[in-house]
Amino acid sequence: MQNLFVYKYAVLFAFALFLSVLLNTIFLKFSRNLGRRDQDDSIVRWSSISKPSLGGISFYIIFLVTYSVYTIFFNRITDLLNIQHIGILVSASMAFLMGLSDDAYNTNPLLKFLVQVACGAVLFLTGTYISLFANPLFDFIITVLWVVAVMNSINMLDNMDAITTTVSIFIIFSAMSAAWVSPSFDHFFMTSMVGVCGALIGFLFYNWNPSKMFMGDTGSQFLGIFLASMGIIFFWNNNGLETEEAASKQLTITILAFIVPIVDTATVIINRLRRGSSPFVGGKDHTTHNLSYLGLSDKSVARVFAMISFVSYLLIYIIVNNFKEWSYLNAACFLSYFVVVFGVLYYITRLPQNLKKLQ
């Protein structure tokens, strides 16, 4: 039976990959003027070349298609009424529409924030929330904070060719590894992740440097809510332990999975606060940019972040498959990788030659 499931997922992945290539080819050919927000001088872009920001549309379409395919592949028509599945679909749709509006009209930041909060609230009310406290109010607050943080960090990370795409792929790989060994395995979540992963890999053909198109806020906002929800289900709440140390395992897996967005966002916020500038505006002071200032090509920067994410994926794979018991010492050992990555990348942002680039 398990081999049959693997076969179905392989077919689904191939279909999503093919559909992604097809859709993005069509978008690129017939929509060359849609989504070119970087023509606006008020938008801070790393690339000096105007390109369509349409990749995110393919993510959402394939997500909807796989949602439909899931009910057929696994004979789960009744799951169309599953409240948790509906909540993820609704919140993903809200994020997608908000991103689409932002790509077209440059949406007011306050409105974007309110939509992100609403996405977190929808997830909480439909059963997808971080379960850490006895008081549900605290769970609600941390869930909304998590959703808003991930949506914004993924959006901020989308500042150079292929970075967000590759990082998101490895986050999904990590979630699939955790899902596969989970006692509460759910075909809907696995189907969604396989489909979105296929969509991202197909898009990577067009987003690898020199890119032909961007994912836009449409893509980054959709990915933000999708990764946040999968993170809640398979990182935050999937430890299988009932000890006081269980929270450290949750936190370790989550930090490792989202290591690149966390490190990039943290370094940007710290450095901007030190300079007295706002952390909430665009800029060319991200970890990606600082590696480029050292002389790395955009392709090399993408490879660096892909390798960081790949190592994180391997560590998570080891944790979920080999550590049935957990201790604070385990957490400290695995989190040392995060400390090293953060330390090295932050140090690079403080190099004198890089600081001069920002003056």
Over residues 145-174, the pLDDT tens digits come to 999 999 999 999 999 999 999 999 999 999
Residue 46 pLDDT? 54
Whether 150 and 227 have beta carbons less than 8 Å apart is answered as yes
Share of the chain above pLDDT 90, in %: 71
CA distances to 48, 104, 229, 270, 333 from 60, rounded to whole Å, are 27, 17, 15, 33, 38
Per-residue pLDDT reduced to its tens digit, 83-134: 999 999 999 999 999 999 998 888 889 999 999 999 999 999 999 999 988 8
**Confidence class for position 41, pLDDT limits 50, 70, 90:** very low
Q: Which residues have CB under 8 Å from 216's CB, separation 6+? A: 35, 37, 53, 54, 55, 56, 99, 103
The more confidently predicted of residues 74 and 169 is 169
The more confidently predicted of residues 81 and 269 is 269
Residue 47 pLDDT? 55
Is the bond leading into 279 cis (omega within 30 degrees of zero)?
A: no
DSSP-derived secondary structure letter, 39: G
Per-residue pLDDT reduced to its tens digit, 173-194: 999 999 998 877 888 999 999 9
User: From CA 41, how far away is CA 44, in angstroms rounded?
Assistant: 7
Closest C-alpha among 288, 283, 282 to residue 164: 288
User: From CA 162, how far away is CA 170, in angstroms rounded?
Assistant: 12
Q: Which residues have CB under 8 Å from 94's CB, separation 6+? A: 115, 118, 119, 122, 225
* Domain ranges for the chain: 2-357
Paired residues of 53 in beta bridges: 214
Closest C-alpha among 297, 347, 341 to residue 355: 347
User: From CA 117, how far away is CA 140, in angstroms rounded?
Assistant: 11
In this structure, what token pair is assigned to residue 241? 């332990």
